[in-house]
């Protein structure tokens, strides 16, 4: 028979043992949970932070810093093909992104790329490359009716410094008053039967009237020079100021 003291001692010991077992089971659970979390998050972290030499993982972010990935080989066709079969309006095969004012790519060839549809060329939108003005100009400086756009008027004047021999051919400097400011370029061509050359320029031209300084054209032809003592001997070629009719376009 146990007395009261012995019974109370046994209850205390049993309670302590039970708590020790509970603590032990909890500790085992927490340790196991820590191991599982370490494995799961360790794998996930590895998946998103690639290391040099890792394979490319599809369908997820492959981040690598301060290292260049290069594909080198020899193939009669392309080295890399990307085909997006989606019919969505936003579908695309390649998406290149950079920070502001940075070029998205660089090439080492000046060959034409077939079917390349670009929005800008040399920083200008396609709408800026279309002719903003054009005209057929008569030799005397008038505009051929029904053939001009974007031009208010053109005047033919005699350029300073013209060859005195060609004084009978004045007014071969054509000065333009355009309907817009800041033309980017001018392209002109003499009529095919004129046998002449034209030079174009844009911007203020001091030899033109103040109201016609948006652009200018000078027309001339090349003639043979002859020996004064033996006129049949050709000694060279010189330019000759000649007013001619021509076509011109401005962008």
Tell me the pLDDT tens digit for each residue of 39-63.
555 544 444 566 777 888 888 888 8
Contacts of 215 (CB under 8 A, 6+ apart): 175, 176, 178, 183, 186, 200, 201, 202, 203, 205, 250
Question: Are the C-beta atoms of residues 83 and 93 closer than 8 Å to each other?
Answer: yes
Cα distance between residue 62 and residue 48, in whole Å = 6
Cα distance between residue 245 and residue 241, in whole Å = 13
CA dihedral 7, 8, 9, 10 (to 10 degrees): 50
What global pTM score does this model have?
A: 0.51
Domain locations along the chain: 1-107, 130-250
pLDDT digits (tens, 9 = 90+) for 138-191: 988 889 888 899 999 999 988 765 554 444 556 889 999 999 988 888 999 988
Cα distance between residue 161 and residue 209, in whole Å = 17
Q: pLDDT grade, residue 22 (50/70/90)?
A: very low
Cα torsion 201, 197, 193, 245: sign = positive
């Amino acid at each position: 028979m146990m007395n009261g003291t012995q019974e109370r001692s046994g209850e205390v010991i049993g309670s302590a043992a039970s708590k020790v077992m509970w603590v032990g089971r909890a500790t085992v659970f927490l340790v196991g949970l820590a191991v599982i979390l370490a494995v799961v998050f360790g794998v996930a972290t590895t998946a998103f932070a690639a290391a040099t030499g890792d394979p490319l993982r599809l369908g997820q972010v492959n981040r690598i810093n301060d290292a260049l990935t290069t594909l080198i080989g020899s193939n009669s066709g392309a080295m890399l093909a990307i085909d997006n079969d989606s019919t969505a309006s936003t579908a695309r095969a390649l998406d290149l992104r950079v920070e502001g004012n940075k070029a998205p790519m660089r090439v080492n060839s000046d060959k034409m790329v077939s079917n390349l549809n670009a929005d800008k060329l040399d920083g200008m939108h396609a709408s800026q490359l279309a002719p903003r003005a054009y005209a057929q100009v008569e030799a005397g400086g008038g505009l051929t009716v029904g053939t001009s756009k974007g031009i208010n008027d053109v005047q033919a004047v005699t350029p300073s410094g013209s060859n005195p021999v060609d004084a009978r051919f004045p007014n071969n400097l054509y000065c333009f008053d355009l309907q817009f400011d800041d033309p980017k370029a001018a392209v002109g061509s003499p009529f095919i039967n004129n046998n002449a050359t034209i030079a174009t320029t844009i911007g203020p031209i001091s030899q033109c009237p103040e109201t016609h300084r948006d652009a200018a054209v000078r027309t001339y032809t090349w003639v043979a020079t002859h020996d004064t003592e033996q006129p049949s001997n050709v000694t060279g070629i010189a330019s000759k100021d000649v007013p001619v009719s021509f076509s011109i376009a401005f962008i």
